Amino acid sequence: MAMTITEKILATHSGKKEVIPGELINAKVDLILANDITAPIAISEFKKIGAKEVFDKNRIALIPDHFAPQKDIRAAEQCKLLREFSREYDLSLYFEVGRMGIEHALLPEEGLVLPGDCIIGADSHTCTYGALGAFSTGVGSTDVAAAMATGECWFKVPESMKFIYYGKPNKWVGGKDLILHTIGDIGVDGALYKAMEFEGETINNLPMHGRLTMCNMAIEAGAKNGIIVPDKITRAYVKNRAKREFIYYKSDKKALYSEIREYNCTKIPLTVACPHLPSNTKPAAELSNIKIDQVVIGSCTNGRYEDLLEAAMVIKGKKVNPNVRMIVIPATQKIYQKAMKKGLLDIFIESEAVVSTPTCGPCLGGYMGILAKGERAIATTNRNFVGRMGHPESEVYLSNPAVAAASAVLGRIGIPEEIGL
């Protein structure tokens, strides 16, 4: 039977020759992850079920990144639970502050998530790793607890949707614009519990950071996972990173899809998602009347080196508008260090932006950039729900790094062309 890449990975990990959409399976997992918000619940449930040992001390990643470095006493207690559990069970993948980063940027960077993997995480943006050709999805903390004990998780095999992108994107248009445009087209439940498989000539030429961005936001369309069949770009990315063996899978030509959509990327503009849904998208050029108070460059969606470089290219030699504060957050320590060595941090500081240590921080309304009543932010993050970044009467607009940086200069939503780029 012909199968999609998602079906093949799930079949292999469940010990079956084939699986079909809708089938309930139990699959072995290659990696389990949780953070300082979700891991404490999983740890509590793990102990409630009476488990004596974890299934594999080298396959459980605990990463304090949401409220870390610890913002208050409660956050400190949460992070302490991760630290103590990791020591008690001798977990090799505990990442303390100073050695950490935002989980969904850190794990690919460290070669801990690989093509062909089956990965679960107590965080909805675990779907990011599909960019490497893995099946990865967010689950509840109780599922993580059970998987930490057994090394397995249950799934309903999702139907697959295929998204084909062709044509050369316009200047400054990248993975963030492609996925925002797609979500704007199908809606926040347009791929509900389905696998979003991205392909086409545009994807073939899309760098890994753009692919990670696209798969990261598959959950914003309601998807179970996002995935891209591995190719030469995937191979180049994992070549010197992989910490273990892995397998490349690809979809069969006769595999069945519930729906196939095509997009001409020459017609996709710089795109912004307006409040209060990622699907409420409009061309950035049509939003020049929207004044802003804050700009955030970072997150698991757009906090990689290439994202910082794009923002730096736009803002170099210019100043952040006096009515705006700009916060730049490199996603990992390695990204922070590279940005520093390449002079990007100097560019941001000279532009009067502030640079933070790696953290999820403002993305989830945690800290490092909370919005007050009536304030507006444009951010390279992934969600703009009511109250997502602070006060329930604040607003968040989502964009790529170039649009965010141009907006910081203009004091309103704008595009790089408006400042001569």
Find out whether 224 and 7 touch, Cβ atoms under 8 Å: no
- Interval 348-361: pLDDT, tens: 999 999 999 999 99
- Interval 237-280: pLDDT, tens: 999 999 899 999 999 999 999 999 999 999 999 999 999 999 99
- What does 122-143 look like in DSSP terms, one character per residue? SSGGGGGGGGGT-EEEE--HHH
Name all domains of the chain by residue range, CATH numbers in brackets.
5-263 (3.30.499.10), 270-419 (3.30.499.10)
Residue type for 159, please?
E
pLDDT-above-90 percentage for the chain: 98
- What does 322-352 look like in DSSP terms, one character per residue? TT-EEEE--SBHHHHHHHHHTTHHHHHHHTT
DSSP 72: S
Going by pLDDT thresholds of 50, 70 and 90, the confidence category of residue 329 is very high
Q: Is the pLDDT of residue 121 over 90?
A: yes
**Quick one: pLDDT at residue 243?**
87
Mean pLDDT, rounded, of the chain: 97
The model's pTM? 0.95
The C-alpha atoms of residue 172 and residue 284 are separated, in whole angstroms, by 12
Q: 79-108: b or e for each residue (b if 16 or more CB lie within 10 Å)?
A: bebbeebbeebebebbbeeeebbbbbbbbb
195-224 mean pLDDT: 98
**Quick one: pLDDT at residue 100?**
87
The C-alpha atoms of residue 168 and residue 263 are separated, in whole angstroms, by 11
Among the residues of 152-296, which ranges form H helices?
A: 175-186, 201-204, 208-216, 232-238
Find out whether 133 and 127 touch, Cβ atoms under 8 Å: no
337-343 mean pLDDT: 98
Q: Is the pLDDT of residue 137 over 90?
A: yes
Across the chain, which distance is largest between two alpha carbons, in Å?
A: 63
